[in-house]
């Protein structure tokens, strides 16, 4: 069973929320899918760097940026850059600064009034901009922090500070009368979810061998008094209890049900991020309750895994397909056109993942693994599993 399969399933869920929302189902909370992506991204990147520090005692910033480039660039060039250039060459109207914002990851700051001019369907790169800004700053901070024996305390405190600052920024901006777009698209207001993902990774890294995630060892005859020679088992850990995903789902649903504007501009994002973090930790426990285990097994379904692994390409492509084909489907019943657009967007994204992303991943493994130390190589398998799950 794939140890990180539940994260793939979370990414599948997140990207489907975005796809159906952009396909015309305005009641689908596509924005919550972006928050889930942010949490996953913060978790994966932080845990990768913590593992590298554990194995090597350091941090290769050049390799980090190169791996990010190989992960992000191929689909971005194919889906965003080339079509935009062809569109401009054929007379299409594109704001050059907005296009540069897509390439150099500052589009979200151009998008604060929902008024940008890019190749139709490519506006989704605003969230990618926030993530890449985080990677840039976090890597520079980590380059210094990793040298300290107190690196975990340093990163923990910084992450808490960022999360609190981000939440406070939303509250203060809302009270000052800022627009919904300013809060929704701002790096300062949305980075909380990434910081929560970072804190989740730190907590998991510190407690991955404790009873919170592994359970308590016991023997059949003597309970938790471990007797040498007796067969040992482990109890279901605290975070493996079925109520954990139930609480997470409840938090998520409450964040959608409450329609009060003040809540939606402030606490909504926090609740969704905490819910995602709980599911991540629950899925990483060694044992779960019977019902929880069935749910965990269901999340390993191959279709969900493929959707999760290809979510980056699906995310970039789906609305391009929508905008290009919508005029041809106007005469069809809405359910039919919706189904066709969703299927084509997803199928195209899966194809790009298979024929573009996977070869790029293989290229990275062939040409950059040799730069790692032998200690790092011992962790390559786990690292590769995680790197293929980096959220856009």
User: What's the CA gap between 85 and 72, in Å, rounded?
Assistant: 19
Q: 215 in helix, strand or coil? A: coil
Q: What is the pTM of this model?
A: 0.92
Please name which of 282, 273, 290, 221 lies closest in space to residue 7, comparing C-alpha atoms: 282
User: What's the CA gap between 118 and 102, in Å, rounded?
Assistant: 9
What pLDDT, in 10s, does the model give residues 195-208? 999 999 999 999 99
More confident site: 328 or 15: 15
- C-beta of residue 95 within 8 angstroms of C-beta of residue 173: no
Please name which of 220, 240, 248, 245 lies closest in space to residue 232, comparing C-alpha atoms: 220
| Predicted pLDDT at 120 | 97
| Predicted pLDDT at 18 | 98
3's tokens = 């140890």
- Look at the alpha carbons of 161, 164, 167, 173 in this order and tell me if their dihedral is positive or negative: negative
What are the CA-CA distances from residue 49 to residues 7, 103, 131, 142, 379 (Å)?
Answer: 18, 25, 16, 8, 11
Whether residue 167 has pLDDT greater than 90: yes
pLDDT band at 228 (very low <50, low <70, confident <90, very high): low
User: What's the CA gap between 243 and 249, in Å, rounded?
Assistant: 10
Whether residue 147 has pLDDT greater than 80: yes
| Predicted pLDDT at 226 | 56
CB count within 10 Å of CB 81 equals 16
pLDDT band at 221 (very low <50, low <70, confident <90, very high): low
| Helix or strand run (H / E) with residue 50 | helix 30-56
User: What's the CA gap between 10 and 276, in Å, rounded?
Assistant: 8
pLDDT band at 374 (very low <50, low <70, confident <90, very high): very low
- Report the percent of the chain where pLDDT is more than 90: 74
User: What's the CA gap between 280 and 274, in Å, rounded?
Assistant: 10
Whether residue 305 has pLDDT greater than 80: yes
- Sequence-distant (≥ 6) Cβ neighbours of residue 161 within 8 angstroms: none
Q: 217 in helix, strand or coil? A: strand
Domains of the chain: which residue ranges? 5-208+241-387
End-to-end CA distance of the chain: 24
Q: Which residue has the tokens 């609190």?
A: 164
Whether residue 90 has pLDDT greater than 60: yes
DSSP 230: S
């Amino acid at each position: 069973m794939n140890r990180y399969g539940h994260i793939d399933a979370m990414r599948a869920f997140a990207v489907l929320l975005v796809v159906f929302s952009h396909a015309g189902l305005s009641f689908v909370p596509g924005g919550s899918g972006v928050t889930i992506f942010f949490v996953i991204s913060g978790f994966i990147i932080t845990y990768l760097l913590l593992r590298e520090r554990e194995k090597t005692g350091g941090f290769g910033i050049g390799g980090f940026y190169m791996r990010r480039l190989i992960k992000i660039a191929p689909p971005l060039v194919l889906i965003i850059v080339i079509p935009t250039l062809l569109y401009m060459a054929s007379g299409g109207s594109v704001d050059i600064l907005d296009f540069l914002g897509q390439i150099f990851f500052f589009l979200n700051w151009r998008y604060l009034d929902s008024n940008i001019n890019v190749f139709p369907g490519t506006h989704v790169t605003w969230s990618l901009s926030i993530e890449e800004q985080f990677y840039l700053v976090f890597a520079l901070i980590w380059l210094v922090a990793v040298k300290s024996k107190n690196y975990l305390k340093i990163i923990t405190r910084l992450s808490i500070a960022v999360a609190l600052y981000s939440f406070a920024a939303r509250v203060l901006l809302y009270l000052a009368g800022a627009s919904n777009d300013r809060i929704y698209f701002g790096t300062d207001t949305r980075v909380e979810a990434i910081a929560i993902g970072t804190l989740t990774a730190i907590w998991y890294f510190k407690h991955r061998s404790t009873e919170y995630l592994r359970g308590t060892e016991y023997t059949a005859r003597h309970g938790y008094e471990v007797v040498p020679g007796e067969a040992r088992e482990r109890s279901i850990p605290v975070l493996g209890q079925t109520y954990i995903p139930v609480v997470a789902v409840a938090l998520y649903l409450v964040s959608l049900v409450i329609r009060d504007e003040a809540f939606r501009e402030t606490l909504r994002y926090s609740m969704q991020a905490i819910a995602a973090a709980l599911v991540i930790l629950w899925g990483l426990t060694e044992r779960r309750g019977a019902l929880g285990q069935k749910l965990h097994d269901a999340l390993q379904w191959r279709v969900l895994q493929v959707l999760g692994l290809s979510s980056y390409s699906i995310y970039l492509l789906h609305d391009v397909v929508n905008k290009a084909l919508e005029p041809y489907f106007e005469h069809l019943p809405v359910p039919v056109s919706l189904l066709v657009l969703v299927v084509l967007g997803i199928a195209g994204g899966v194809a790009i993942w298979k024929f573009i992303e996977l070869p790029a991943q293989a290229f990275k493994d062939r040409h950059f693994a040799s730069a790692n130390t032998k200690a790092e190589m011992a962790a390559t398998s786990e690292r590769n599993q995680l790197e293929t799950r980096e959220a856009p």
